[in-house]
Amino acid sequence: MPDTSRRKFFALTGLALAGVAAAGCSSSGMPWSGGEDVALDRAVDGARTLVAYFSLPLTDDPNGMNEDEANSTHVVDGQVLGNTQFVAQLIQARLGADIFRIETVEPLPLDFGVLEQQALREQESGARPELKALIPNLADYDAVFIGYPIYWYDMPMPVYTFLEKHDFGGKAVIPFTTHGGSRLSGTVEIIADKLANSTVVSDAFTISRDDMNDAESEVRSWLAGMV
């Protein structure tokens, strides 16, 4: 597959949309403002917090990975995790939160070239892939972390399905992303627009797939800033 195609799909050009990628801060220069103070109190109460994520590792075999498989995964004690999956588990463990994986009814292709073309077609058509399951007890949570990789400078379309199939009214929503160069790529604003009746925290977490070895310390520092 041409390198340019890979760069487009995983946003390797280093795109950082103004206002979001600049340290993820509010216009006041502080990471939290207004209703977000309450949102943070909710987020650090792990008993009332859920970490939901979409992640697609291209293999579960830690041996002999090709470049695309290695880019999509992080190996921990011989176990292959998707990059976003790994970050989600770090947040869950740090807060003592519950966790939920966003999965589609139709299995997604694990061949990189096929996956990127399917993702692009879904984005261009505004597809809403059907999910295997929805959160049955969303009312039990005050705060929901939502994690996803960046596909074609946007959220994967199953994440749109997830957002639209649940009522997040009155909840704190904290996005986090993994990426190949485009950081948040404007997705925090998209989520805030879709979830107008919730408090979407602007200081979303984002980490490059090239920095996954630093993810534990980065997540710890990010969460520490919430209290």
- The predicted model gives 163-167 an average pLDDT of 98
Q: Residue 183: which domain range? A: 3-224
The CA-to-CA distance between both ends of the chain, in Å, stands at: 45
Nearest of 156, 155, 206 to residue 179 by alpha carbon: 206
Q: What are phi and psi of 102, to 5 degrees?
A: -85, 115
pLDDT of residue 5: 43
How many folded domains does the chain comprise?
Answer: 1
Residue that is written with structure tokens 């400078």 in the block: 153
Q: Check: CB of residue 63 under 8 Å from CB of residue 227.
A: no
Residues in a beta bridge with 200: 173
- The predicted model gives 71-78 an average pLDDT of 95
pLDDT of residue 45: 61
The pTM of this model reads 0.82
How many CA atoms lie less than 13 Å away from 135 in the CB half-sphere?
A: 25
pLDDT at position 24 over 80: no
DSSP letter for 21, please: T
pLDDT of residue 44: 59
CATH number for position 18: 3.40.50.360
Positive or negative, the CA dihedral 30, 34, 39, 44 is positive
CA separation (Å) from 44 to 9, 88, 97, 138, 217? 34, 15, 9, 17, 17
Tell me the pairing of strands 73-76 and 79-82: antiparallel
- Written as one letter, the residue type at 165 is K
Q: Check: CB of residue 20 under 8 Å from CB of residue 31.
A: no
Q: Check: CB of residue 144 under 8 Å from CB of residue 173.
A: yes
pLDDT of residue 226: 73
